[in-house]
Copies of this chain bind each other. A is one copy, B any other.
Amino acid sequence: MRTADGTNLHALQDYLGLHLSRDGLEPLNRQLYRHLRGAILSGLLARGSALPASRSLCDAMNLGRNTVLHAYGQLEAEGYVVSRAGAGTYVSDALPDPPPVGTEESQAAPSPLPLSKRAQSLLKGIQQRGSPETPTFAPGMPDTSTFPWALWLRLQQRHQRSAQGTDLGYLSNGGHPALKAALATYLRLSRGVNCEAEQILITSSMQQAFHLVALATADAGDTVWMEEPGYPGARFAWQAAGLRIEPVATDAEGLRWHGSEPDPRLIYVTPSHQYPLGCVMSLARRHALLQEAAERDAWLVEDDYDSEFRHDGRPLAAMQGLDRQGRVIYLGTLSKVLFPALRMGYLVAPPDLVEPLRILQARLMREGSYIEQATLADFIEDGHFGAHLRRMRGIYAKRQSKLREALAAHLGDWLADSESPRPDQIALLGGAAGMHLTLRLPAGLDDRLFSQQLGDMGMLAPALSGYCLRPPPFPGLVLGYGGADDATLMLAAVRLARFLAEVLRRHNIDGRQ
């Protein structure tokens, strides 16, 4: 193509004939501009060479005059071509040299840049879990089929219709005041949280709350104590914020530190229902931990992720309610009680921390929609929240006991009666609250391999190892029973139990020691 107008025309005719599409999706002048630019950048049209006269190109390509003039004009405006009065249009000399080979369409292979080290490390942790399509047993997945969606939409439409300009703008109150007030009352009454509405911040997720808390209270390199095993979502957030994670073991009473651990800036716990093992932190341990936090100048992050679904008596009051030092940051989610796509959670901060958190959220993350927040405030105040919660508590409790029955029926002697099985037995841990059980496996079984095999069968039951930074206390599987309906869950439970029995037999574990 490196010749003057006339001979240049033919090559260009071929090139454009290949690339211009007349399907009407993209205007022809735009296509022409794009492909001429491509030809210039790739060197097909050499620096300084002439473009065909617009009239010649029109005839050759059967294009309208304006189409060509428009494309040429755009190329000129952007500096790709220069037009010399009376002498035609030329490819600019001032452009950088084209890449050695290839055209726009067959690009030179780019030299890929590596991901950051932190992203590589995060992705390694995340990908350990795998994620088959069917979410049977996926922990943390609530049943969304039972949500009173029509009622919700009716409440929402009221707020949608009356929405004004400011409701659609940038928001920075830390959440809709009506929702904060409704949540404060709920948390005081149901969870023993000691708070005013002003201490509440509505977040778009638990993850956002982790990120916000990490930024506001800890610097990169600071230490966070995490329960071991513990919640991977929290671990990812602390890692992403550059914190050093100190895994601290748990026993039947909750977090069990030794005193020799490095001073923490944050202590992250799930006292109502340890995730994933399911024990409830004792009152004595709660007081001791508050004392430890005070002595070590640490903030306590209390993640109360699923305590609404208490199946076993009245819930213990939140640690936050015992706090005398203003050290506890209480986190809750609405994804489990309502539905995950709502994208709403909340935190209760000590008074001094509220304003910094609110500003950081508004400027670094932005707030969510107040229309949905006002809807939720109504949903709570009109009693629908409480009703839905009670209904789901019943559904999940029943589903858990069905899961236990199905596993027991197929696992017989292998299944221990208590949470302290013999070495040749398995046990079901937790279940006093929430939507998951943890299946403890006999020592020596590889839970990652087992989880992967279940994954191949379409079941997402993560290995307990994935919840640990050190070797796990025992191999196990975390079994969510929230997300699948009863029939699907029972079917999966039978498949899981049969497969487990086969594995145990293969390992000569007979459960009747």
- Residues of A bordering B, CB below 8 Å: 25-27, 30, 34, 37, 41, 74, 77-80, 94-96, 99, 107-108, 110-113, 115-119, 122-123, 126-127, 131, 135, 141, 143-145, 147, 149, 153, 157, 160-161, 163, 165-172, 185, 188-189, 192, 204-205, 207-208, 211, 215-220, 222, 233, 236-237, 240, 242, 265, 282-284, 287-288, 291, 294, 297-299, 313-314, 316-317, 322, 324-327, 335, 339-343, 350, 352-353, 356, 359-360, 363-366, 368-371, 483
Contacts and interface: CB of A to CB of B under 8 A. Distances in A.
A131 B363 CA distance: 12
Listed residue (A113, A220, A322, A326) with the most chain B CB atoms within 10 angstroms of its CB: A113
Nearest to A313: B77
Contacts of A368: 343
Contact of A356 (B117, B123, B356, B363): B123
Nearest to A190: B30
Contacts of A188: 26
A236 to B, nearest CB: 6
Closest 6 CB pairs of A and B: A110-B326, A168-B339, A79-B283, A144-B168, A144-B165, A205-B366
Contacts of A218: 116
Contacts of A207: 363-366
A160 B141 CA distance: 21
Given A79-B282, A123-B356, A326-B112, A236 B364 contact: yes
Contacts of A119: 215-217, 356, 360
B26 A189 contact: yes
How many monomers of this protein are in the complex? 2
A110 B327 CA distance: 8
A169 B215 contact: no
Contacts of A111: 294, 325
Contacts of A166: 144
Contacts of A143: 165
A341 B118 contact: no
Contacts of A364: 122, 207, 211, 236-237, 240
A32 to B, nearest CB: 13
A440 to B, nearest CB: 26
B283 A78 contact: yes
9 contacts: A26-B188, A27-B189, A95-B287, A116-B215, A122-B360, A126-B363, A141-B169, A153-B161, A169-B340
Nearest to A188: B26
Contacts of A127: 359
A107 B74 CA distance: 71
Nearest to A217: B116
Contacts of A41: 322, 324
Contacts of A123: 356, 359-360
Nearest to A126: B363
B113 A297 contact: yes
Contacts of A204: 204, 343, 366
B316 A343 contact: no
Contacts of A126: 359-360, 363
A310 to B, nearest CB: 12
Given A119-B217, A287-B95, A360-B122, A108 B324 contact: yes
B217 A340 contact: no
Given A25-B185, A110-B326, 8 more contacts: A77-B313, A96-B287, A99-B324, A220-B220, A242-B242, A342-B369, A343-B366, A343-B369
A169 B341 contact: yes
Contact of A78 (B95, B107, B317): B317
A235 to B, nearest CB: 11
A112 B135 CA distance: 44
A199 to B, nearest CB: 13
A369 B341 contact: yes
Contact of A147 (B26, B113, B157, B168): B168
Listed residue (A119, A192, A217, A291) with the most chain B CB atoms within 10 angstroms of its CB: A119
